[in-house]
Amino acid sequence: MVKKSLWNTIYFLSVCSFLFLALGCAWGIRDILQPSGSESVKASSKPNETLPVPAGGLLLGLGDSLTRGIGDPGGQGYFGIVKTQLTLREKEPMSSVNLAVSGLTSDELRRQIKQPHIQNLLKNAKWIVMTIGSNDLFQSSGSLKKIDVAAAEKSRLQYQQNLTDILTEIRTCNPKATVYLFDIYNPFGDLPEANLASRLVTAWNNTISQTAVQFDRVIVIPTFDLFAMDPGKYLYSDHFHPNHLGYERMVERLWQVIQDPPKEETTDGQTK
């Protein structure tokens, strides 16, 4: 009888442990696939309502899991780190809204920024930081050991059109905000199959640069070289997203250009 009671207790504890682990796993997956927005300014539900933005300005994050900060154990990512630095630098209170979604593609971002409440945020932003394109590339190119070059090229051309539409929409909403657009890195640089992947990434980065140069106040932040050497040191355990050190390297490069913003042209063509 005692033995049966002991086995019942062990069985009960085993079931509880399994349910606890399953629940934790489910919450973790939900956070990655459907993360909640990180907002310090509440988005308006009324399309024409003016948002109460502090005098220091609004930092707006757009794009995919890199802007969301996936891979950083502390959850900051580059967005959280640069937000802290801007808060310390600005003499007046500032705010931030991170609209990034894990797994987002350029077509999804193109549709996302057409939503009225997001356009309100775009209109009020002082800085716009963005990562977009990695999901387009790596989802279309197939597995690393069997890269579909033709599919990747077709996806690149569609990405070019989507990125043009995205930047056009941003500029229509807000001609003055500076847009900081990170390009793409190859997370597989230390693997035997890395050469072809690197060539694809280079082609996509050329597309990003050629598209961005057509718009005022859009700055491309290079990342390819940041993870080319010793990627294991700067990537998370998934071998795809940056870890905290990797995000810090992205911030170092971003902060350099934030500290030296583009000059504004006056009506007579001079810069100030």
Domain count, the chain: 1
Residue closest to 38 by CA, chosen among 132, 102, 91: 102
Instruction: Specify the CATH number for the domain of residue 140.
Output: 3.40.50.1110
Tell me if 30 is assigned to some domain: no
Domain extent, residue 195, equals: 58-258
Please state, in angstroms and as integers, the Cα–Cα distance from residue 238 to each residue in 72, 126, 187, 268, following that order.
11, 33, 10, 52
pTM over 0.85: no
Better-predicted residue by pLDDT, 260 or 226: 226
Q: Which residues contact 80 (CB under 8 A, 6 or more apart)?
A: 38, 69, 72, 74
In a domain, 103, yes or no: yes
Could you give the CA distance from residue 83 to residue 86 in angstroms, rounded to a whole number?
A: 5
The overall average pLDDT reported for the chain is 83
Report if residue 243 sits inside a domain. yes
Q: Is residue 162 part of a domain?
A: yes
Say if 41 falls within a structural domain: no
Alpha-carbon torsion 101, 107, 109, 113, what sign? negative
Q: Minimum mean pLDDT among 17-31, 64-78, 85-99, 128-142: which range?
A: 17-31
Tell me what the mean pLDDT of segment 1-18 comes to.
47
Q: Quick check: is 6 in a domain? A: no
Residue 176 lies in a domain: yes
pLDDT in tens, 231-247: 889 999 998 999 999 99
Q: What is the mean pLDDT of the segment spanning 39-59?
A: 60
pLDDT, position 50: 52
> What residues does 181 pair with on adjacent strands?
130, 220
Torsion of CA 213, 214, 216, 221, to 10 degrees: -30
In a domain, 265, yes or no: no
Percent of the chain with pLDDT over 90: 62
Query: Regarding beta strands 38-39 and 95-98, do their DSSP bridges make them parallel or antiparallel, or are they unpaired?
Result: antiparallel
More confidently predicted of 263 and 90: 90
